[in-house]
Structure 1
Amino acid sequence: MAFYNGASVVALLLLVSTAARAAGDGLLLNGNFEYQPSKSQMNGTRVMAENAIPYWKITGFVEYISSGQKQGDMLLTVPEGAHAVRLGNEASIEQQISVTRGMYYSITFSAARTCAQSEKLNVSVAPGPESGELPIQTVYTSSGWDSYAWAFKAKRGLVSLIIHNHGEDDDPACGPLIDSVAIKTLYPPQATQNNMLRNGDFEEGPYMFPNAAWGVMVPPISEDDHSPLPGWMVMSDTKAVKCVDSAHFVVPHGARAVELVSGLETALMQEVRTVPGRSYRLEFSVGDAGDGCVGSMQVKGYAGQGSTTVTYSSQGTGGHTRASLEFAAVADTTRVVFVSSTYITKWDGTLCGPVVDDASLACVSQQQPPARRLLRL
């Protein structure tokens, strides 16, 4: 029988800690940054050694922040747990993840601004060309923290997730706070004969933190194959849509829906193969998420050259109405688009809007073939 002293146990734990995390739904290893760096590797709040934060590699000006810490007159808070990291100029955090080649994954993390500037974050996986720039200058919650999603297709079995702040502020420490980094395997649904829309019920989407009652923001994404909301693209310059779940919101159908929180600045879009001349019917639900969003809501649905406007009077307590649109396809590909034509804010000043859910598209008639002409000899 072998016996191990305390030093051996510590060495074994350190060896295990260098292994890559096998991807599964949930937080990355030390994804909430509760495992702290050693004080000998810190200079005040700044982390000095690249491997000081367990399971993470850092570059640039990175700070380890405790909830309640002050920055000038600002009191820094942490959404979950007691710690987070702050990315200053040209700072990044990186972790290796074991994934399945060819599979799709969504990354969810929480972020908060700490400086009066248009902060952006670059999220990428290496090796591979996949990266995305996430604008975080708009704050969608009263706490100042928002959760964001980004997706990628694994090109190899071992990848490095990198979250980078390219900031160029005069204050090198100026930058966003990052907390609660999680991953989820995506299984993009396919179109069916009954519903030509992929993921029309929005059930497949990013990881949502069980204790987070603010939903997950999906920022602009123009490639549906790499969307954390499979099948759908978010068309905007800087604004996002919000994924909401039935655990924290009122959802018209199933467990998830999408809240259009940015008015005319953001559209939800999907391209569908159609046959010119055939008639199709688009159906969808419009309502409110039961999150205190009160007012007259309007959602415009577009398909081909057809459109419909759905008005819903929200009391902020939940409810929905069903809408439909029939149209004739004029091309081999038809865009289905949902956009909110109203801007609504809640009592605390945060953006909100109508919920869209349970969207379906089906062919209702086929183009008749031309009549045969009889030739007389």
Structure 2
Amino acid sequence: MKTVMFGGSISSRTSLLFVLLVCTAYFRFSSAFIDGLVPNGNFELAPKMSDMKGTVVVGRYAIPKWEISGFVEYIKSGQKQGDMILVVPEGAYAVRLGNEASIKQRLPVTRGMYYSITFSAARTCAQEEKLNVSVAPEWGVLPMQTMYSSNGWDSYAWAFQAKSNVAEIVIHNPGVEEDPACGPLIDSVAIRALYPPRPSGMNLIRNGDFEEGPYIFPNTSWGVLIPPNIEDDHSPLPGWMVESLKAVKYIDLAHFSVPEGKRAVELVAGKESAIAQVVRTVAGTDYVLSFAIGDASNYCEGSMIVEAFAGRDTVKVPYESRGKGGYKRAILRFKAASERTRLMFFSTFYTMRNDSSLCGPVVDDVKVLVAHRA
């Protein structure tokens, strides 16, 4: 048998070292990249019976893969609380965060990269339920007074920039109620790495097709709410800011009608639901802003108007929705007044479905091009 000796020339040893470094970097990055449910993100792995007192979870590490604190319950779908039936959106189980309760998990990430957390939540019995989502040193408080879906569950996205190679994700209920069990249900926690988009080709808009965004659960049909930038320092929708008091909804082709590609944005709260982006322009130059508006094929019917702004210029685009899909294209010609031009879109009216859930027009395929002279 021949014995292989690691000797050889300096160049061969250098090449071997280079290969090892590349492989180490590759596997380190691979272990940090996460796109989908976090470990036991759907809470289907249950605590041991010895770690339960009724529905209350006892023990800091009783829920597999999670660390808990405060009044945490393990809820089975269909469980009753008084006259209320607790429903779980995916699978059979979820957790409920009572007074000052939290769930926590540490995940490998890549330092400096941006990530978006997506989770589903539902109100139960507290009057002003809200959730504090954090990855130290960043945090955001997401109010849950407005429910956007008809079944009581909404999915939320929240973004952060990794400050180290480990992110400690915490979802915390800061409320204190007379009934310590009162608090939101949590299910299906996922994470996705975000890649800051750049203008493509001659289009000055970044992520104008909305293809880059938070994780959308494949088995849910209500999209993902992207909170206002006052509640999130980093947008889960790269390139865009939610400059409003209410969230916008991120939707996908698998469950909705989308004008272009696989993703789009639904403006679900009238003038309180706006998206904006600042683009680099040349003062005195003429540009054309083009975009598509339509309906998401979610039975959102009625007269809609999308207002688009480019600096000082604006256009109102009407769309008559039958709630069964479809779209139209619109343009706004404008002359740049400075080196940066702010673009914004919002819906003029509030729109509701027959079940009283909020909905609105869809915006997609946004482009800003230099206007060619005739």
TM-score by length of 1: 0.88
Question: Does 1:252 pair with 2:259?
Answer: yes
Among 80, 85, 94, the alignment partner of 2:90 is: 80
Question: Does 1:234 pair with 2:242?
Answer: yes
CA shift in 2, pair 1:101/1:59, >3 Å: same
TM-fit CA distance, 1:343? 1.0
CA distance in 1, matches of 2:66, 2:152: 25
CA distance in 1, matches of 2:32, 2:201: 36
TM-fit CA distance, 1:224? 9.1
One-letter code aligned to 1:342: F
8 Å Cα contact 2:126-2:183 kept in structure 1: no
TM-fit CA distance, 1:22? 4.7
Among 151, 159, 176, the alignment partner of 2:159 is: 151
8 Å Cα contact 1:225-1:231 kept in structure 2: no
Secondary structure at the counterpart of residue 279 of structure 2: strand
TM-fit CA distance, 1:225? 7.6
CA shift in 2, pair 1:264/1:167, >3 Å: same
What are the superposed Cα offsets for residues 316-363 of structure 1, whole Å, 9 maximum, x if unpaired?
111001000011112222110000011111111111100000001122
Residue 214 of structure 1 is matched in structure 2 by: 222
Number of aligned residue pairs: give it: 343
8 Å Cα contact 1:296-1:314 kept in structure 2: yes
Residue 292 of structure 2 is matched in structure 1 by: 285
Structure 1 unaligned residues grouped into runs of 5+? 1-20, 367-377
Matches within 5 A, 1:1-377: 22-126=32-136, 129-221=137-229, 226-237=234-245, 239-364=246-371
Residue 6 of structure 2 is matched in structure 1 by: none
Secondary structure at the counterpart of residue 51 of structure 1: coil
One-letter code aligned to 1:339: F
CA shift in 2, pair 1:32/1:201, >3 Å: same
CA distance in 2, matches of 1:40, 1:198: 52
Bigger drift between 133-142 and 68-77 goes to 133-142
CA distance in 1, matches of 2:108, 2:318: 47
Secondary structure at the counterpart of residue 155 of structure 1: coil
What are the superposed Cα offsets for residues 200-238 of structure 1, whole Å, 9 maximum, x if unpaired?
11000111111111111111125998211101111223x
TM-fit CA distance, 1:364? 2.1
One-letter code aligned to 1:274: T
One-letter code aligned to 2:90: E
One-letter code aligned to 1:336: L
8 Å Cα contact 1:24-1:183 kept in structure 2: yes
TM-fit CA distance, 1:198? 0.8
Bigger drift between 28-37 and 220-229 goes to 220-229
8 Å Cα contact 2:149-2:357 kept in structure 1: yes
One-letter code aligned to 1:296: S
Deviating above 4 A after TM superposition, structure 1's stretches of 4 or more consecutive aligned residues are 222-225
8 Å Cα contact 1:205-1:228 kept in structure 2: yes
Residue 6 of structure 1 is matched in structure 2 by: none
8 Å Cα contact 1:193-1:362 kept in structure 2: no
* Alignment RMSD (CA, Å): 1.6
One-letter code aligned to 1:360: K
One-letter code aligned to 1:247: A
One-letter code aligned to 1:352: C
Secondary structure at the counterpart of residue 137 of structure 1: coil
One-letter code aligned to 2:66: W
CA distance in 1, matches of 2:171, 2:94: 14
CA distance in 2, matches of 1:212, 1:300: 30
Q: How many percent of aligned residue pairs carry the same amino acid?
A: 63
Residue 370 of structure 1 is matched in structure 2 by: none
What are the superposed Cα offsets for residues 51-73 of structure 1, whole Å, 9 maximum, x if unpaired?
00000000111111110111111
8 Å Cα contact 1:23-1:183 kept in structure 2: no
TM-fit CA distance, 1:23? 4.1
CA distance in 1, matches of 2:86, 2:38: 23
CA distance in 2, matches of 1:186, 1:221: 16
CA distance in 2, matches of 1:208, 1:302: 29
Secondary structure at the counterpart of residue 226 of structure 1: coil
Bigger drift between 153-162 and 216-225 goes to 216-225
